[in-house]
Amino acid sequence: MNPAALIPTPDAIPVPWGWFYVLLMLTFLLHLLVMNAMLGGGIIALISALKNGKQDNLIGKEIGYKWPYTIAFAVNLGVAPLLFVQVLYGQFIYSSSVLMAVWWFSIFGLLILAYYAAYLYDFKFEALGSLRVFVLEFAVCILLYIAFMFSNNMTMMLQPDAWQAYFENGSGTLIMLSDSSLFPRYLHFVVGAVAVAGLFIALIGHFNFIKSAVNKEALISKGMKYFTYATAIQVFIGFWFLIALPKQVMMVFMGGSAYGTGLLLVGIILGFAVLYCGYKQMVIASSSITLIALIDMIFMRDLVRIAYLEPYFKVSDLVVKPEYSSLILFLATFALGLGMIAYMLKLAFGCRKEVSK
């Protein structure tokens, strides 16, 4: 059977695809940052709990304070890119989701458990004592599971030729284990998350958003260490991921496309630059370069998607039935929302100062 015959007919979009593309990239970047802090933060908290040193425990406690926030925002900021990816690539992601429906469905239920575990860890840090490590293991395992399922779905949605497995198994339990890019993709995200979370805790220290009794210097130094080690490992995983891609996809970054090759080169250079900055414990420089590297990487990720789907579809194929008034509704709401957020943060930070006085 021709895999293209399986691809559902997409629905029309109300404004040209560029709008959704920009919104997708922007909100995905935000999601990525917070999600990394959540997942990597959890992993670092777990490693710290296993080490069980004094500062390690305090780092764990400090992460505990921030952890529920990161989950809340990782979910919220995940909703937006998932919405926009459904607008642009719905016919792919809905299909692959059904193929792995059991795993996909389990995600939000498990996430609720992980979320409550995070609150338990936060609110009952002291009372839990040595049980903390189990709570962390429970929550981190769930988050790692969810990350794996995301990697699986993002891999499967790009490969309609793999969808035919549905005819052998329609019960929603398919996994792309045989796909060579699945594990490097997964590790690329998980290790990346540890690096970004390392930066996150270093930044907490740097800007003194510390709530626990953790030593500021220790927090920065540990954070930068996690960042640097993870980034160093990431160099190898990134290479593994690259060569694990199907040839026509890989070649986009190996001379097939000047744009793609350029992005890869920039990424490599930024990677080494950031390793240096990390080694030197330069928090702000590392953070700035990492942000640029992340933007570089989400564009590369987008190119991977385009190359995979190239035989079947490009977003410019989508039919547009223009209705700009609804876009205006959103933009107005977005502006209002940003205004409300700014105002509320102003009140909140003002309050912080009052209290500290």
Partner 1 sequence: MNYPVWDLTTFGGGFIIALVAVVHVLVSHFAVGGGLFLVLLEQKAYKQNDDGLLGYVKKHSKFFLLLTMVFGGLTGVGIWWTIALLNPAATSSLIHTFVFGWAAEWVFFLTEIIALFIYFYTFGKMERKKHLIIGWLYFFSAWMSLFLINGIIGYMLTPGAWIEDHSFWSGFFNPTFWPSLVFRTGLSLVLCGVFGFVTAAFLKDAKLRQNIMRTCAMWVAIPFTLMVAGGWWYFNSIPEPAITIILEKSPEIANYLQLLAWAMPIFFIASMVMLIRLPNSFQRVFCFVIVAIALIYFGAFEFIREGGRRPFIIYDYMYSNQVYVDDVPEIQKNGFLTKAKWTEHKEITPDNLLAAGKDLFKYQCSACHSVGGVLNDIMPLIKKYDSPFGMDSKLNGLGKLNHYMPHFMGTTEERWALASYIVQELNGINPQDTANLVIDAKELPVTIPPFDKEKDEYVLLAWNNLGMHCISDSDPFWILLPPANDLYAQLVKRGDSPEIITEGVEISYQVQEGFEYPEKQVQFWNYADKLLGANLAPGVGVGGLKVSGLMNLEEDHAAFTAPFIPVVPYPEDGSFNPFPIFTITAKDKETGEILMTTKTVAPTSTEMGCKNCHGGGWRVASVAGFTDETSLDVLAAHDKNSGTNLVERATNGEPMLCQSCHADPVLGTKGDPELLNFPAAIHGWHANFLTDREGMDACVACHPSRPDGPTQCFRSHHSEFMDCTSCHGTMEDHSLSLLKHELEAGKKGAARLMENLQARVVDSVEDINPRIPWMNEPDCLNCHEDFDMGSTTDAFNTWTAGGDELFRNRHDQMEAMMCAACHSSPHAVYPATLNKLGENRDSIQPLQYQGNDRPIGNDCTVCHTVQPDFEGHHPNSLR
Cβ of residue 54: shortest distance to partner 1, in angstroms? 26
The distance of closest approach from Cβ of residue 298 to partner 1 in the complex, given in angstroms and rounded to an integer, is: 19
CB of 161 or CB of 217, closer to partner 1: 161
CB of 316 to partner 1, least distance (A): 16
Is the CB of 316 or the CB of 325 nearer to partner 1? 325
CB of 76 to partner 1, least distance (A): 5
Beta carbon of residue 162, minimum distance to partner 1 (angstroms, whole number): 13
Listing DSSP states for 181-232 in one string gives: THHHHHHHHHHHHHHHHHHHHHHHHHTT---SS--HHHHHHHHHHHHHHHHH
Tell me whether residue 247 or residue 353 sits nearer to partner 1 (CB atom). Answer: 353
* Helix axes of 216-244 and 258-279: crossing angle, nearest 10 degrees: 150
Q: How far apart are CA 259 and CA 253, in angstroms?
A: 8
Report in angstroms how near the CB of residue 174 gets to partner 1 at its nearest. Answer: 10
Query: Residue 285 CB, nearest distance to partner 1 (Å)?
Result: 29
Torsion of CA 331, 336, 337, 340, to 10 degrees: 160
Cα separation, 353 vs 149, whole angstroms:
42
| Residue 200 CB, nearest approach to partner 1 (Å) | 17
Can you read off the two tokens belonging to residue 156?
A: 């499967």
* Nearer of residues 119 and 240 to partner 1, judged by Cβ: 119
Identify any residues that bridge with 320 across adjacent strands, giving them in sequence order.
13
Question: From the CB of 91, what's the least distance to partner 1, in Å?
Answer: 7
Say how many C-beta atoms besides its own lie within 10 A of residue 269's C-beta: 13
| Residue tagged 């700009």 (tokens) | 324
In this complex, which beta carbon is closest to partner 1, that of residue 284 or of residue 341? 341
Distances (CA, A) of 129 to 91, 113, 142: 48, 20, 21
- Pick the closer one to partner 1 by CB: 119 or 279: 119
Residue nearer to partner 1 on the CB measure, 112 or 131: 112
Which residue, 217 or 323, has its beta carbon nearer to partner 1? 323
Task: Give the DSSP letter of residue 177.
Answer: T
Nearer to partner 1, 243 or 347 (CB): 347
User: Taking a C-beta distance cutoff of 8 angstroms, is the pair 96, 85 a contact?
Assistant: no
What is the SS3 assignment for 80-143? HHHHHHHHHHHHHHHHHHHHCHHHHHHHHHHHHHHHHHHHHHHHCHHHHHHHHHHHHHHHHHHH
**For residue 50, what are its two tokens?**
């296993």
